[in-house]
Amino acid sequence: MSTPQQSDIAKKIVLIGDSGVGKTCIISRFVSGDYNKNMNSTDGASYATKKLVLPKLKTSINLDIWDTAGQERYKSLTKFFYKDAAMIIMVYDVTLKTSFDNLKEYWYREVQELSEKNFVLGIAGNKSDLYEREQVSEKEAREYAKSINAVFGLTSAQNNTGIEQLFEDIGMKFLEPNFQEKMEENNKGKNMETSIKLNKKKIKKHDKEHKKKKFC
């Protein structure tokens, strides 16, 4: 039996997290490939669409992507956008420990209370290009993601790394519930931390001029 085509089915995906962690920049990179380091914080919420192609499943999903504001005054609005969400990505800034703490203590609790029962949860550790200022280790974040059954990915909107892969992994898990378990099995025995650090060394020269700045 051939895999059903999903291209005509629109699914809602919502990005949540503190203000300034880079949700808008991630969406901009994913949808259009654009990046603006001076992009303003989202005012309330914004909306975009994109077809997510999943070559491994020979299918695709039309995504309705909602970008929510992280400021305190908008948190009541965020609750509305959980309704009918098939996928939710919680975003934190790897250089800001409080954004990860808030993800665990506030955003995940809100997801549990307000979201639909059947959805795929993801976590994006954004600004991974600023690894020299890292306050949240990959190991800590991966362990937390595993404990709540979330897909995890390190992303950099500035360098345009990890974003496509994260959306693809979340889409795969949505259509193939056992995908994450299979992925973990395939990665068994591999040292993921070492792999990431080797990649980080390759982009080190690009970071020096940005070390004192906070980008998406």
Report the CATH number at residue 177.
3.40.50.300
Q: Quick check: is 216 in a domain?
A: no
Q: Quick check: is 91 in a domain?
A: yes
> Which is nearest to 141 in space by CA: 151, 131, 129?
151
pLDDT at 121: 97
Q: Quick check: is 4 in a domain?
A: no
Q: Quick check: is 1 in a domain?
A: no
- The proportion of the chain whose per-residue pLDDT surpasses 70, expressed as a percent, equals 69
103/2: higher pLDDT: 103
SS3 7: coil
Q: Quick check: is 215 in a domain?
A: no
Which residues lie below 8 Å from residue 116, measured CB to CB, with a gap of 6+? 82, 83, 84, 85, 86
Q: Quick check: is 59 in a domain?
A: yes
- The proportion of the chain whose per-residue pLDDT surpasses 90, expressed as a percent, equals 54
Domain count, the chain: 1
Say if CB 169 and CB 183 are below 8 A apart.
Answer: yes
Which residues lie below 8 Å from residue 151, measured CB to CB, with a gap of 6+? 120, 121, 122, 123, 145, 166, 169, 170, 173, 180
What is the extent of the structural domain holding 94?
10-210
What is the amino acid identity at position 113? E
Q: Quick check: is 119 in a domain?
A: yes
Q: Quick check: is 96 in a domain?
A: yes
Per-residue pLDDT at 212 exceeds 60: no
